[in-house]
A and B are shown apart, each in its own frame.
Chain A
Amino acid sequence: MKTNEQYLELQAYADGQLDQLEGLPPGRRAELERMMADDAEARGLVEGVRSLSQLVRANEPVHTVPASREFYWSQIQRKIESAERARTRAQTPASPRGFWLRWWLPVLGASAVAVTSFLVSVGGLPITRAFGETAVSDRGSDSSGAVVFRSESEGVTICWLD
């Protein structure tokens, strides 16, 4: 029968972390090695911990995300932001100021989009170059959200719908 302290020391020995244990008396490693030579239970515990560790390392599942890292995370970020917006809307009580904001913000937004479109059409604002190869949030004229990804080097534009 071993104490909890002995079990911890044996596990740390198996993991190669014995030296990191606090308050370990000098010469303890040699004592543990002697214990393992004489004691089948101690030896079995160390071997068990080592084989379990190897098994975990060898069989750790690898999940490859089905998109580039930036694109994948921008989608998740967009979903989180969308959920937060919905929650905030639900919690915000109606007020006269909110009423005006609700009606004027879309008008201002549409104006901004119109001006931007005009600038792009006359070649004054190279939006795609400004964003480069990054994913940007985009909300079109309809109610659905989307993530737009542009790669100038590949000549690819991806509009990913929520």
Chain B
Amino acid sequence: MKSTIARLLVAGLFAWSIGLLALGAAPATELKLRSQLVWGTDGSKPDGKDLVELDAKLKDKLKALRWKNYWVIKSEDTRVVGKEPRKAMLDKCAVELSDVGNGHLEVKLYSVGADGKLKLLRTVTEPIEKLVKGGTLIIGGDSKDTWDDAWMVIITMSH
């Protein structure tokens, strides 16, 4: 009887250790993210620029912002695996995305200078679960060049 219990205990411990090893060796979840640099304006589409109107579903989510038109300047899909940061270059700015490991995505927003150098503007973290469930992260600001217009970087899951 005693030997049976001992065998069961050893087997249990072995299974638990294998489970832990398997967890440790499991590949990090891959996140497919879409970063879009968007221009918010009440004006019409700027002439001579190849801009695309923001997807209607996403535009509907921008109810807190009430510009009439949202034009996508640049869109880039990025695969983020684990803590290794991945950059998405978006015209005059860039975002660096990484899964910081506690269920949060870290987003670093950079401005791109005339010399191509990146300057960190802001670091924002967002729960990955929210994004996976269809959430949207927006980092933006008022335009310094055009009164009443705004720029924003919209981060969503890429489908």
Give A residues with C-beta under 8 Å from B: 64-68, 71, 121, 128, 140-142, 144, 146, 149, 151, 154-162
Contacts and interface: CB of A to CB of B under 8 A. Distances in A.
B103 A154 contact: no
A154 B120 contact: no
14 contacts: A66-B66, A67-B64, A128-B127, A144-B122, A151-B64, A154-B136, A155-B135, A156-B136, A157-B126, A159-B122, A159-B124, A159-B138, A161-B140, A162-B141
B150 interface: yes
Contacts of A149: 64
Given A151-B64, A158-B64, A160-B140, A66 B42 contact: yes
A91 to B, nearest CB: 28
A149 B61 CA distance: 13
Given A159-B124, A161-B122, A161-B139, A154 B65 contact: no
A149 B66 CA distance: 14
A67 B66 contact: yes
Interface centre among B42, B130, B133, B134 (most CB of A within 10 A): B130
Interface string B81-117: 0000000000000000000001110000000000000
A161 B63 contact: no
B136 A142 contact: no
Contacts of A71: 64-65
Contacts of B124: 140, 159
A116 B132 CA distance: 23
A141 B102 CA distance: 19
Contacts of B103: 121
A140 B141 CA distance: 15
B65 A158 contact: yes
B61 A64 contact: no
Interface in B61-82: 61-67
Contacts of A140: 122-124
B67 to A, nearest CB: 5
Nearest to A122: B102
